[in-house]
Amino acid sequence: MADRSPLKIDISSEPPVPPIAAAFLVNFDHRKGYTLVWHRSIDEAQVEGVVEFKSLPSGLHNVEEDLVYFIHDKYSGLSAFINKPDGQSERAARMLAVGVLVPLEFGRTGRSWRHAEALQALARSQIDNVQDTTALEEYWGKYRLRPDERPEQEQVHSEYPGHSATRQPANGYRKSRSMSTATTFLPSHHTLTPHHPALTLLDSADIFGPLLFPLYRAALLRKRILIVADTPVQSSCNLVYNMSILSSVSKALLEFLPSGDTPSLWLRPLFTVGVGDIPELETTKSSPTSVSIAEDNWIACTTDDVLSTKPQLYDVLVLMPPSESNNAATKVFPKMVLSSPELTKSFPKVGIKSTQRDFQRFVRLQQGLLQFRPSKTAINGSLENGAEGRPPLSSRRSSFSANKAVVEPASWSRMAYTSLVWWASAGDRRGGLVETEEAENEQDLALLSYEDDSDSEQTREVALVAYFHRLTEIIFQTVAEAIARSDGTRSAPESSYHDDDNNDNTESIYEETVQRRASSEGEETQGLLADPADNGEVEITPEDMAAMGLDSWSASDRAFVEELVRLWWGRKAVVRPTSIECCGLRIY
């Protein structure tokens, strides 16, 4: 595999605040419930009968303030909720929400977080005088969407890109080109606006610990992932966004995939969903062998527990720990479970676990992120180091005992092999797998390393995203090489890596646009894969598993590769288990 050049950062200014298709004010009436008091919208945007429910999920009465993301039609919604005590009120409190709808044409969330601070300020002022909508009218007049502000049509459909935009070579496979590493766009001086989802990226990793990797793999398999959590919902919405980003597949990897329909390159974030969204969720289905329906993959969060009792709605259920567990003496992890009919009655005591390899990789990730700086937050023109002095990931997560509950126990075959190596070496190799572990350590740290100091200002958030995008790149390239080997075709020449400075101006941090350049002007290489009509079995060796950073001893990792190959390539994979030899004889 060719050496990677450093991750380059575009330090142009952050895109402007996106225009809005609608603005609204929802007030809580103790007799009528949540009512739409005021709204303005363009002709195409439906507001009435929608935002009253989507912008105010159940349980918000338990918090003083919250930010709620949701998706409605082709718009991303954001509402600022406020709950103010009031002894004069029947319920001893006044509650309302001020929100906007932003076209999804402007990004995965429409960059709606750029409106968060203003919406919070508007909500705090409106709570004292609901009837005075002067400030809301001014805000609508300032940011309303005008016809000349819509992105070009090609950009509109790039949110969940398919293969139709890529010209197909004659043999049905894309021509192999050189590949660039991810180019991540950050505002000047590596600053982020308040409420940017990236600010919680490290928190998300800290909460899940080594479980971050099985969650990433489920997202890469384009599962329907439902996260059940308590209020406030902003952190859950940020988690939805972050996992969609971490599991995205760059356009540069299209060359390794067959032509035709494939899964969406981005896991579709639905953000907050509730009981009212059940009919829409029921239209999606689990389709591990179908790659033509992009809408059948999503990740969402909810505060309505009733959705968790409907396993037909999702493939993977994530039960977040209660907020009070943050102060627990022992780390409380989220619980991940696969959908099954039994979930209508009860939840299993033990959920999905990370592999031994995942745990070691998470520990190295903790160590590797120490070399990077935290992002800064721009507030009213000044910079704040909100994360300065804070470790990138909590140190109490690094010991095996703290993570034992969510890590698979070593398989008997692995323990037998470790014992055999120890015996054969007369105890000289105490770990039994020292050489393997050293190779894994080098492999993991390489995902975070750079060859020069041209990007010494790299931040932890960008480094973490780049880590997972490079991991995805390695997985896809290794599978493509295994297919080429199984089909008897030669691999394409090793790619050289180039940074692409093109900016589509539609995404900010880690919403990436990855372009490929030719290795040399006019030079084209043959397709990496064989004729697409050849659908024979693909052999995945233990060496392939190791190259992908997976645990060849783990049944769950082997199952992941089999499903990955079936989903993205439409082929059947046969994963060879690790063999054990003694004195030249295979004993396992």
Q: Is the pLDDT of residue 356 over 70?
A: yes
Domain that holds residue 112: 20-145
Whether residues 70 and 121 fall in one domain: yes
Residue 326: Cβ within 10 Å count: 10
Furthest-apart CA pair in the chain: how many Å?
86
Q: Which has more confidence, 120 or 448?
A: 120
The answer to whether position 428 is within a domain reads: no
Q: Are 314 and 454 contained in the same domain? A: yes
What is residue 516's predicted lDDT score, i.e. its pLDDT? 37
- Final residue in a domain of this structure, among 111, 145, 179: 145
Digit-coded pLDDT (tens) for 439-482: 888 889 889 875 544 455 678 998 999 999 999 999 999 999 99
Per-residue pLDDT, 163: 38
pLDDT at position 134, please?
96
- pLDDT score recorded for residue 562: 96
Residues 346 and 209 in one domain: yes
Distance of alpha carbon 377 from alpha carbon 461, whole angstroms: 13
Confidence label for 151 from pLDDT (cuts 50, 70 and 90): low
Q: How confident is the model at residue 385 (pLDDT cuts 50, 70, 90)?
A: low
- pLDDT at residue 414, as a whole number: 58
User: Does 262 reside within a domain?
Assistant: yes
Please report the pLDDT score of residue 39 as a whole number.
96
Whether 239 and 352 share a structural domain: yes
Same domain, 313 and 358: yes
pLDDT at 14: 54
What SS3 string covers 324-358? HHHHCCCCCCCEEEECCHHHHCCCCCCCCCECHHH
Q: 177 and 140: one domain?
A: no
N- to C-terminal Cα distance for the chain? 31
Which residue, 574, 580, 518, is CA-closest to 545? 574
Whole-structure pTM value: 0.83
Domain end, chosen from 145, 177, 210, is at: 145
Domain identity same for 269 and 365: yes
What residues have CB less than 8 Å from 442, skipping those under 6 apart? none
Most confident of 91-95, 124-128, 402-406: 124-128
Provide the percentage of residues in the chain whose pLDDT is more than 90.
Answer: 47
Strand partners, 581: 586
More confident residue, 510 or 263: 263
Q: Check whether 132 has a pLDDT greater than 50.
A: yes
Q: Please tell me the total count of domains within the chain.
A: 2
How many whole angstroms separate alpha carbon 108 and alpha carbon 165? 19
Does one domain contain both 239 and 287?
A: yes
Q: What single DSSP character describes residue 268?
A: -
Q: What does DSSP assign to residue 80? A: E
In whole angstroms, give the CA distance from residue 528 to residue 457. Answer: 36
Q: Kindly state the average pLDDT of the residues 305-313.
A: 94
Token pair 């991991």: residue: 471
pLDDT, residue 123, reads 96
234-246 helix and 201-208 helix, angle to the nearest 10 degrees: 90
185 and 57 inside one domain: no
- Give the pLDDT band of residue 208 (cuts 50, 70, 90): very high
Q: What is the DSSP string of 34-86?
A: EEEEEEEE-TT---TTTHHHHTS-TTGGGSSEEEEEEEETTEEEEEEEEEEE-
Query: Residues 256-275: what's their mean pLDDT?
Result: 90
- CA separation for the pair 127, 13 (Å, rounded): 34
Residue 66 contacts by C-beta under 8 Å, 6 or more apart in sequence?
60, 80, 81, 231, 232, 233, 234
Give a yes or no: residue 177 inside a domain: yes
Same domain for 198 and 87, yes or no, is: no
User: In this structure, is residue 299 part of a structural domain?
Assistant: yes
Q: How confident is the model at residue 279 (pLDDT cuts 50, 70, 90)?
A: very high
Same domain, yes or no: 127 and 37: yes
- Residue 329 has a CB neighbour count (10 Å cut-off) of 5
Residue 506 confidence (pLDDT)? 34
* Residue 420 belongs to a domain: no
The predicted structure's pLDDT at residue 540: 96
For the segment 168-192, the average pLDDT, to the nearest whole number, is 41
Same domain, 403 and 469: yes
Compare 525 and 557 and report the one with higher pLDDT. Answer: 557
Res 392 pLDDT > 50: yes
For residue 153, pLDDT over 50 is answered with no
Arithmetic mean of pLDDT over the chain: 77
Whether 431 maps to a domain, the answer reads no
Q: What is the pLDDT of residue 323?
A: 81
